[in-house]
Structure 1
Amino acid sequence: MTSNVVPLKRGSEQGRPSLAPILSLTATAMNSVNQVILDRMQSEIPLIPALAGHLISGGGKRMRPMLTIAGAEVIGYQGTRHHKLAAAVEFIHTATLLHDDVVDGSETRRGKEAANIVYGNPATVLVGDFLFSRAFELMVEDGSLKVLKILSSASAIIAQGEVDQLVSQRKIETSEERYLHIIGAKTAALFAAASRIAAVVAERDETEEKALDDYGRNLGIAFQLVDDAIDYDSDAAEMGKDRGDDFREGKMTLPVILAYARGSDAERRFWQDCIAGFTISDADLAEAVTLINMHNAVADTRERARHYAQRACDALAIFPDSEARRAMVEAAQFAVTRGY
């Protein structure tokens, strides 16, 4: 094993980074994972697979289960236990998305109408509960109390993070530290758990478990930072959702936190009026984007994302150079250069 720092190259150094290497690396195993997902979302109640399938088949990247598969590849695990667990990870993620869309009143998800718009809020919440239950069935079937502890703890942390974000909504005084704590819970916790469990099923030591946990956690933070930047610098067609959704919902994401901290008194009054919940027009969104760009808030959000992505890559340095490690590094690079 080595202790070298693994460099995170910018896209301009080697062409635009992509998920192609990690998709290729995990393709065969992900076919098995997808089959588990398809089988376990079935129910004698037709509404359940219909609503679950609306989101699950909606073109998501499946990053979280891919991390479980890629983690197994980087440590050389040859078994198949992690296939069901990767499906459990995706069910946890999908359940949280369904619940989030109800809480946020979202109208679109992955470029089409959100499930709550098509099927209504009650059905969406209940199917989210169903998917959580399926995830825990899969964990119990695996039989590892350690895996169960890691994934159940992550589920609790995600829920706490979502509540924390709700409490912080429309609070202009939210600090960058508080924001990072929120995204560390609501996003990074599942990235970390998804990565770590690969080492657990392979019965590797604590050092390798922690390395994969650190990779996933830092990648998750980077991923969410970029998501929050995208809300202000990409168009709706590219994002698969409406531009400015976070702004309209009064979410204190890092671009707003930075622009507010750097703004004049008049600019701060603008942010206070908008975030506090007054009527937000298209002109307000345009002004918000102007201020965010003027203060380099999106660029600096992406730069912070690069910092966490580099930490993710550094965590992999204990593993020998391999196709799997290179694919995971490029996935981190993709996370910070993507526009969707």
Structure 2
Amino acid sequence: MSLAPLPHDTAPPRPASGGLDGPLALVAGEMEKVNSLILEQMQSEVSLIPELARHLIAAGGKRIRPVLTLLAARMCGYEGERHVGLAACVEFIHTATLLHDDVVDESDLRRGRRTANAVWGNKAPVLVGDFLFSRAFMMMVADGSLRVLEILSRASAVIAEGEVEQLVTTNDTSTTEAAYLHMIASKTAALFEAAAQVGAVLADRSAAEEQALATYGRSVGVAFQLIDDALDYGAGHARLGKTVGDDFREGKITLPVLLAFDRADDGERAFWKRCMEDMDQKDGDLEHAIALMQKHGAIRDTIARAEAYSSEAQDALALFADGPCRTALADLAEFSVHRAF
């Protein structure tokens, strides 16, 4: 799953068109069924499992990935109920990765609430994440489609590879933009891609249409992660839902860092190496890092790249007939960029 960097001279973001209200309203009834199924499938005789899973689910979240499955299936003309179960599978995979991510990142906040590892320590979230992965695979098997199982199981493996790639690139300022894009295409975008693609599979659509939805989902996922990268340096705590500057404090090499480093003079590069490679961070370093990003247009250009991927996602929808679901998917692509700006 290789992504080449998009051109650097993309136009600045345009105003958002539809946001999330339209897409969510269009599948509200089906999302109720998805939520009910999620609650049903996370039950266990081991009381800590539903307790911990409820903690994360109660933190909110827009459920964008399962919404993608529902909208894609409907746009493709699917009229059954299998998309509800697969949307729940997608959310279980996502939730499991969040539990594991927070342990790896030693995060204290997610969506403005204490993370599961901050409440229960590291062991329980890892094991409950494993439980949710297992539940997702049980539901895939129950669906009965080998093609669906192939797509979602591959996505799960690619996500894990992306997480390992992120460990490798952490603290490494020599990381290239191409390598970084490959990592986020795996870590974040793979599940967006699979979530959209299975909608075409359910409706028995052509290989070209299946690939178009895969491209759509992957591009939305990359845009979504790029905006997360920008928000870590450019959002207020209330909007971000986590501690601002977490990526900096953890030495994560994200696109704003790469762009600022690439455009830096020798003194600025020494600053980035001290903070991100040596992890020798002092009071005021985060503020200085943000100032350097602003000086070199790193946050601005990260947002511009996200906008380009959002446009790529919308272009992929051209293969499908115009209608409410296609409009909703285009709005979701816009939202991936403009959700906090």
Q: TM-score, normalised by structure 2?
A: 0.95
Match of 1:262 in 2: 263
Secondary structure in 1 aligned to 2:99? helix
**Counterpart residue identity of residue 205, structure 2:** R
CA distance in 2, matches of 1:303, 1:237: 23
- State the percentage of identical aligned residues: 55
* Counterpart in the other structure of 1:90: 91
SS at the partner of 1:280? coil
Letter in 1 for 2:49: I
Q: Quick one: distance in 2 between partners of 1:202 and 1:261?
A: 46
1:47 maps to what in 2?
Answer: 48
| Deviation per residue, 1:182-211 (Å, 9 max, x gap) | 000001111000000011111111111111
Distance in 2 between residues matched to 1:187 and 1:212, nearest whole Å: 16
Task: Within 5 Å, give how 1:193-204 maps onto structure 2.
Answer: 193-204=194-205
Matched letter for residue 87 of structure 1 = A
Q: 1:10 & 1:265 partners in 2: Cα distance?
A: 31
Asked if 2 retains the 8 angstrom alpha-carbon contact of 1:17 and 1:337, the reply is no
Tell me which residue corresponds to 1:151.
Answer: 152
Residue 25 of structure 1: how far off its partner (Å): 1.2
Tell me what 1:121 maps to. 122
**Is 2:171 aligned against 1:167?**
no
One-letter code aligned to 2:315:
D
Does the 8 Å CA contact 2:256/2:302 hold for their aligned counterparts? Answer: yes
Q: What's the counterpart of residue 74 of structure 1? A: 75
Other-structure match for 2:104? 103
2-side partners of 1:206 and 1:159: how far apart? 26
Residue 64 of structure 1 corresponds to 65
* Cα distance in structure 2, aligned partners of 1:10 and 1:298: 12
- The structural deviation recorded for 1:17 is 4.2
- Supply the distance in 1 between the matched residues of 2:288 and 2:269 (Cα, whole angstroms): 12
Tell me what 2:222 maps to.
221
Counterparts of 2:33 and 2:123, CA distance in 1: 31
Cα distance in 2 for partners of 1:39, 1:11 equals 41
> Do the aligned partners of residues 112 and 217 (structure 1) sit closer, same or farther apart at CA in structure 2, a change above 3 Å counting?
same
- CA 1:293–1:16 in structure 2 vs 1: closer, same or farther (change >3 Å)? farther
Q: Report what 1:4 is aligned to.
A: none
8 Å Cα contact 2:251-2:279 kept in structure 1: no
What residue is the counterpart of 1:182 in the other structure?
183
Tell me which amino acid in the other structure corresponds to 1:162. Answer: E
Q: Deviations over 1:33-52 (max 9, x none)?
A: 11110101111111000101
5 Å matches for 1:265-276? 265-276=266-277
Q: Distance in 2 between matches of 1:203 and 1:108?
A: 41
- Superposed CA deviations along residues 187-242 of structure 1, whole A, max 9, x for unmatched, are 11110000000111111111111111111011000110111011000011111000
**Aligned partners of 1:297 and 1:127: how far apart in 2?**
38
Shift of 1:277: 3.6
Partners of 2:185 and 2:119 lie apart in 1 by: 31
Verify the 8 A CA contact 1:9 1:333 in the aligned structure 2. no
Which runs of 5 or more structure 2 residues have no equivalent in the other structure? 1-10
Which structure 1 segments of 5+ residues have no match? 1-7
Distance verdict in 2 for CA 1:9–1:171, change over 3 Å: closer
RMSD: 1.4
Larger CA deviation: 245-254 vs 72-81:
72-81
Alpha-carbon distance in 1 for matches of 2:251, 2:25: 39
In the alignment, the residues of structure 2 paired with residue 40 and residue 78 of structure 1 have an alpha-carbon distance, to the nearest angstrom, of: 23
Structure 1 residue 18: Cα displacement: 1.4
1:138 aligns with 2:139: yes
Whole-Å Cα distance in 1 between the matches of residues 22 and 285 of structure 2? 41
Q: Which runs of 4+ in 1 moved over 3 A?
A: 8-12
CA distance in 2, matches of 1:281, 1:189: 36
User: Is the 8 Å Cα contact of residues 13 and 304 (structure 2) preserved in structure 1?
Assistant: no
For 1:304 and 1:274, how far apart are their aligned partners in 2? Answer: 25
Judged with a 3 Å threshold, the aligned counterparts in structure 2 of structure 1 residues 190 and 167 are, in CA distance, closer, same or farther, namely: same
